[in-house]
Structure 1
Amino acid sequence: MIELTKTGIEGLDSILNGGIVKDSTTLVSGNPGAGKSILGLQYVYNGVDMFDEKGIYLSFEENKADLREAAEAIGFDKWPEYVESGDILVYDKKELLRENDFSSSLDLLLEDFQDNDYERLVLDSLAMFNLFFDDEKERRTYLLKFSDILKQNGLTTLMTNEQGAVFPKADIGLENYLTDGNIYLLQTPTESGVNRYVWVAKMRKQNIETDIFPMEISWGGITVHENASAFSMMNQGESSPIK
């Protein structure tokens, strides 16, 4: 039987048929403002708050104070307490980018990775992670190495990635094929703001709901509504206004 890690995000675990496969790496893609970082914060926070599972948050884009403000602003009030207690470990851009060398950053992290107390990890984001590398071959090699290290140390991981187009098939990168699962967060403009959707496109070893589901971001984080949306990405095509 496949062991699953629950995200604790209302509606998302249902369309994942229970959660994310334990020790897997899932890519969460979307354009700016789609909710990728919120999903990552919520995944780590819920791990401690709901399931007594400690987490590690690697931010290549924000410092610790910014992350704390973002977490508290969305309703994750115990974030500072969990960071203070060590239930959530945060490595921010100042630490991760200090040496400008991935091997040095990895050495910094390995001791915590090997600590069996930690079960969840978020890397936010791959766009900044990629700045370590000079060419595609080196980037691919290290991404595979890094993913293997995470799995070997029992970490169930979410990696966020900027999606250049909201319509995913127009902009599918190498990372989509190197990870175990792909979740897309989508936005469509409306007169009053935006409509938000989640699409779980792939999860290895797992049966999933592959429809597109409405979601919203409010106090307490992301909620996924399990009534499949009439919005069909497959019928929009590259001529869609969703770009």
Structure 2
Amino acid sequence: MIELTKTGIDGLDDILNGGIVKNSTTLVSGNPGAGKSIFGLQYIYNGVELFDEKGIYLSFEENESDLRQAAESIGFENWQQHVDEGTIKVYDKQALLRENDFSAALELLLDDLDDEQYERLVLDSLTMFQLFFEDEREKRTYLLKFTDILRENNLTTLMTNEQGTVFPETDIGLENFLTDGNIFLLQTPTDSGVNRYVWVAKMRKQNIDTDIFPMELGQGGMKVHQNASAFSMMSEEDSPI
């Protein structure tokens, strides 16, 4: 029996056939404004609020106060209380980038990563994480090392990744193959605004629904609707898959 970690996000766990595989690492990709950070905040917040699972949030892009404001602005009003109580542990860019060296940042994290009380982790984002490294080989080596450490410490992890295109067919990096799952957050402009979609492209050890589903961002965070998008009916030649 495969153990699952529920995201607690409306509609998403249904698509995932129950949740994310426990102790796995899932890459969440999307272009700017697609909702990657909201996804990460909601995943950590729901873990504490709904499932009594403590979480660690690593942000290479925001200060702790910015994260608090972002969380509270979408209705996660107990975020700071959980941070104060230690049920959510935040490492912000000031802490992580202080030494400008990943080994030093990793040493900072190891005590908490070794602490079995934490079950969820978000790294936001890989795009900034990669700035630690001078070349592609070094980046790959440390990414492999880091994902192994996360698994060894029984953490179910989301890593966000900036994607420059609407569809990912020309934007696939090594990180997509190193992780256990790939979730893409898509957005397309319309005359009246933006349409948003979620596509679970891969999840090892798990049967998933690989249609593309509409979603919305607002108070309460991310919400996924169960009616599959018209994207799912595209021809195989035109499909982003």
User: What is the CA distance between 1:53 and its match in structure 2?
Assistant: 0.1
Change (3 A) 1:176 1:218: same
Give 4+ residue runs of structure 1 displaced > 3 Å after superposition. 232-238
- Give how far 1:237 is off: 6.8
More displaced, 56-65 or 228-237? 228-237
Residue 47 (str. 1) matches residue 47 (str. 2)? yes
1:155 corresponds to 2:155: yes
Q: How high is the TM-score relative to the length of structure 2?
A: 0.97
- Aligned position for 1:131: 131
Where do 1:1-243 residues align within 5 Å? 1-232=1-232, 235=235
RMSD across aligned positions (CA): 1.5
How far apart are residue 211 of structure 1 and its match?
A: 0.2
Distance in 2 between residues matched to 1:60 and 1:237, nearest whole Å: 37
One-letter code aligned to 2:178: L
Q: Identity over aligned residues, as a percent?
A: 76
Which whole-Å CA distance do the structure 2 matches of 1:198 and 1:232 have between them? 11
Q: Distance in 1 between matches of 2:169 and 2:107?
A: 36
Measured against aligned partners, the alpha-carbon deviations of 1:209-238 in whole angstroms (never above 9, x if no partner) come to 000000000100000001111124864978
Tell me if structure 2 keeps the 8 A contact 1:25–1:157: yes
Shifted more, 48-57 versus 229-238: the winner is: 229-238
Q: Helix, strand or coil: the match of 1:231?
A: helix
Distance 1:145 1:196, change over 3 A: same
Amino acid at match of 1:68: R
Report the alpha carbon displacement of residue 197 of structure 1 after superposing the two structures with TM: 0.1
How many residue pairs get aligned? The number is: 240
Aligned to 1:119, the other structure's residue is in SS state: strand
Q: Distance in 1 between matches of 2:184 and 2:173?
A: 13
> What is the alpha-carbon distance in structure 2 between the residues aligned to residue 195 and residue 235 of structure 1?
20
Q: Structure 2: 5+ residue runs without aligned partners?
A: none
- Give structure 1 stretches of 5+ with no counterpart: none
Q: TM-score, normalised by structure 1?
A: 0.96
Paired letter, 1:96:
L
Question: Match of 2:45, as an amino acid?
Answer: Y
Measure the CA separation in 2 of the matches of 1:170 and 1:235.
18
Give me the whole-angstrom Cα distance separating, in 2, the residues matched to 1:166 and 1:139.
25
